[in-house]
Amino acid sequence: MSIDNINISLERYFYPAQIVRARPEYDKNGDKNNNATHINRSIECLPGEGNRFALQIDIENDLENSVNPPYEFQLTVVGLFNIIDGSFSDEEKKQQVLNTGTELLIGALRERIAMLTHSAPWGVFNINVLDIPKVTALSLDPDSSKRHKTKATKFKKRAVKLKRATHKKI
């Protein structure tokens, strides 16, 4: 049986972090199509449940490589997925949840950003099409999880700073 035949269901998804801030320096007559983003993904098998996985995606705009971004944003979405057929290896299950789950959750993030900006000063913002490569094999390198934790910690620290800055200006 091919890995493409793994039956996955999305149990639910939620947003543990959502920050969107309008940028006053935005030029509404300027370039609107050069907004870069950073995406981090992590996946875990839920303890004691070999067929349930949590996929987390962190997305933020890359202000250094963007031109004229209307908003500064940082969002996190977590999706809970069930694998219906348990006859695959843990690596194959994670690989399929990463590929299928990322597509679903990026769509949810795209809609959430549009919803959060629909009544903001610069109007609805849609993130650009994202080139996220398919996972063909998982790296079990312990250093890769350490790098992800470092990025996730930086993301959380930046989110706290952005939240504090937003509250001070209001």
CA 5 to CA 19: how far, in whole Å? 37
Contacts (Cβ under 8 Å, ≥6 apart) of 109: 57, 59, 75, 77, 127
pLDDT at residue 145 in the model: 43
Regions of the chain with pLDDT less than 70: 1-6, 86, 133, 135-170
**Two tokens at 166?**
């937003």
Q: Which residue's structure tokens are 């993130």?
A: 127
- How far is CA 141 from each of CA 45, 55, 67, 90, 109, rounded to the nearest angstrom? 17, 18, 35, 15, 28
pLDDT at residue 170 in the model: 40
- Asked whether 41 and 56 are in contact (CB, 8 A), the reply is yes
The full set of domains in the chain, from first to last, is: 3-169 (3.10.420.10)
pLDDT at residue 148 in the model: 43
Q: 5-38: per-residue pLDDT in tens? A: 668 899 999 999 999 999 999 999 988 777 889 9
pLDDT at residue 133 in the model: 66
Contacts (Cβ under 8 Å, ≥6 apart) of 169: none
